[in-house]
Structure formats: structure tokens, C-alpha cells
Amino acid sequence: MKIMEGSHAVAEAVKACRPHVISAYPITPQTHIVEEISRMVADGELACEYIRVESEHSAMSVCVGASATGARTYTATTSQGMALMHEVLFNAAGLRLPIVMTAVNRALSAPINIWDDQQDAISQRDTGWIQLHAEDSQEASDMIIQAYRIAEDHDVLLPVMIGMDGFILTHVYEPVELCPQEKVDEFLPLYEPTQYLTPKNPLTFGPIVDPSMYMEFRYMIHEAMGRAKKKIMNVASEFRDKFGRYYGGLIDTYEAEDAEVLILAMGSVIGTIKDAIDELRADGKKVGLVKVRCYRPFPAEAILEAAKDAKAIAVLDKNISLGHEGALYTDVKSVLYNKGPLALGFILGLGGRDITKSTIENIVAKAQKAIESGRVEEESEFVDLDQEVL
């Protein structure tokens, strides 16, 4: 166990996975991850090609090209950089390349804001990337090793992004246990591509596909997403057997079994929610948590199973689909439609606004009020808005 910065814990996990090619462009608050990795390469600690580029669009394009040759690749970005990668993200998924990326979470401009929310990753929802979200530095680090196992599985072959809240996790120093190299080597064998670019056997990656076949390729990605669900759960279990740490499969729960009010969220806010739940439970309130580890593929069955006996579920979104509501809230409602508890949506923590225990307690109080009245008065609301400046 070492006390280290979250970004460095991620860099150490990347190193242990022995990637062949890394390409990245520095952007706050992702910088410390790629800075540390480039130091490792420069100091000879990590034997890999570190390709410096002029933009995130090029960083992801390098990963696509390198991955097509059968290389294990890694990159990291955040916010505007993730947005700049957007079109290449579709290509990485469509070409079925198992690239792994740390998606450090940060708000998007304008107005410019470098602090944490999850709008950047949520806005890449439909690119075909598997999207995981980490609760703490340890999980963000361990998820790297899990992600390669998931991505490179021949039944999956999809890229994986790991959401990691900017600053809250990237810049925090906390105790982290690093995975020993020999155990990582046992857990994560070399990537064996099913098809790859080589001058000895030329192939075409990225041909035009006309209306007679395009839909079938989209269907194949969708099916692979479905198969990934089981793989993500299995890899989490195997990781527990090998390294002794477990964070749940597609979701995790906390005090959820007899809970009347469930809070559903993802990312670093989970820790705050758990602390709030401990205090609420001490007061005799039946409150529990559903932590979404995997946002895409969406764990519909697992959420329904966890929520079916609750009376209300409060969904916390550190994002907003402007003009509608939080993205998680929409997804959760679609899962619970006609068969679940009352669902309330809360938009909070945008642009780094702190989410405190009292915020969580207020949300639980609103959920309890909805249970008493039997109806949800305001489906989706902003939390802790400063009305005085509006």
C-alpha cells in the first residue's frame, strides 16, 4: 500500500499492462497521467512507443492505426479533448479495436471550466465505446487492467473508456495498492488480434459499406455490447480472485437490500453517498445505494433487480441533456417503466460544484416526501442552484 496521486496510480496500472503504443495530448486535469507515463518511457521503465501529437483527434487516430496493427494501445483525455476525439471514437468502435482510454471527467465550455462533472463522457455515449466509471483512485487504477481483458476478448472486441472524476480522483493523494507485475502478466495475457495490418498479409480496414450491409455492422456492435455485460461481470470476479479487490460487476450496491429510498449515481460521489447513508441509517432511515460501474452497455437487468423492492429511487446526474433531463435519469426511467419505484432526477455537481452529505440528505428527504404523497412533484430538478444570481 502506497500513498500516491490518483493519476500516478492509473499510470502505474497502464505500465503493468505493457502497452505497445501510447499517444496522448496533455489537458487539465488529465495531464498528470500522461506526464507520468512519458516519464516512465523516457526513464526506460516502460518499453513502448510514446507518440506525441498535436491534438486529441490525432492521439485517438494514432491509437486506431496502432491498434489495427495488433498493438495494445492506451490514451487519456478529458473535456474539450474528448469532444475533439468524437468522430474518431466512432471509428475505433466500428473497426472493433480494443483501445483503452482513461476518460478523466470535466465540464465542457462555454463558459470554460476545468473542474469535474461527467458531461464529457456522457456526450460520447453513442460512440460504441464500453464506458466504465470509477469510484476512487484504486478502482480507476484496477479498472485499467480489467478493461484490457474486457476489450480484447474475442467475443467483445470493443474499446473501453474509464471515467475518472477530474481533480477529485486524478489529483487526490490516497492509499493505493498497486498490482504486482507478475500477477498482472498472469491475469492479462498478450493481446491476440483476430485480424491485423501487416505488409505480409495486406487487409483493408475501413472500407465503404453501402446500405445493403451497414445496418448489419451496427447490429454486430450492439450484439458485442450485449455480450460485454457478462464479460465485465466475469472479469470483475476473476480480478477479485487474483488481487482480492472487488467493486461490483455492472453495478454495485450498498445497504440496498431493505432500502425504501435508493440513490443511484456513478463516479467519485459514491463515497460521499455512502457516508451520508451511514448517518441516515444511524437515524433509522432505510436508504441504500446503487452504484453504476458500467454506463454502456447499460445494466438494465441489474438495476431493475436492485430497485424492484424500493419505494423511490433518486438518480443523480453530473450531466444534463440540455432541453430534457439528466442522461442517467432517462435511462433509469426507461428501465423501471411500469414496474419499478417512483423515480426522481437530480442534476448536480456541474462544473465542479461540491456535492456534500447535506446535499444527499436533502435529496433523500425529497424522495421520502414523494413516497408519502405517492407521486413525484418535480421529475427533474437542479440541486443547490443559487437563485440570487439568476
Per CB under 8 A, residues contacting other proteins are 94-97, 157, 194-195, 202-210, 213, 216-217, 220
Q: How far is the CB of 91 from other proteins (least distance, A)?
A: 10
Closest CA to 180 of 133, 222, 139, 145: 145
Specify whether the CB–CB gap between 37 and 9 falls below 8 A: no
Please give the grid coordinates belonging to residue 82. 474528448
Pairing label, strands 21-24, 73-78: parallel
In sequence order, the β-bridge partners of residue 4 are 174
Q: Which is nearer to other proteins, 157 or 314 (CB)?
A: 157
Residue whose C-alpha is closest to residue 104's, from 172, 27, 176, 23 = 27
Task: For other proteins, give the closer residue by CB, 97 or 343.
Answer: 97
Residue 344 DSSP SS3: strand
Residue 17's SS3 state is coil
Nearest distance in Å: CB 162, other proteins? 22
Query: How many other C-beta atoms are found inside a 10 Å radius of the C-beta of residue 282?
Result: 8
DSSP 40: H
* 289 close to 248: Cβ distance less than 8 angstroms: no
In the complex with other proteins, the residue whose CB is nearer, 100 or 108, is 100
Element containing residue 263 per DSSP (H, E): strand 261-265
Q: Please tell me the distance from the alpha carbon of residue 284 to that of residue 261, in angstroms, as a whole number.
A: 12
In angstroms, the CA 23 to CA 73 distance is 8
One-character DSSP codes across 328-387: HHHHHHHHHTTTS-EEEEEE--GGG----HHHHHHHHHHHHHHHHHTS-S-SEEESS--G
Q: Which of 289, 302, 29, 14 is nearest to 164 (CA)?
A: 29
Q: Which is nearer to other proteins, 207 or 244 (CB)?
A: 207
Cell numbers given for 88: 474518431
**CB of 92 vs other proteins, minimal distance in Å:** 10
Identity of the residue, 89 or 355, whose beta carbon is nearer to other proteins in the bound complex:
89
Question: Residue 19's closest CA among 97, 73, 66?
Answer: 73
Task: Tell me the β-bridge partners of 254.
Answer: 289
* DSSP 8-class letter at 117: -
Which residue pairs, CB below 8 angstroms and at least 24 apart, start in 325-331?
Answer: 325/379, 325/380, 326/380, 327/122, 327/125, 328/264, 328/265, 328/266, 328/292, 328/295, 329/380, 331/298
In angstroms, what is the minimal distance from the CB of 206 to other proteins?
7
Of residues 70 and 352, the one with the C-beta less far from other proteins: 70
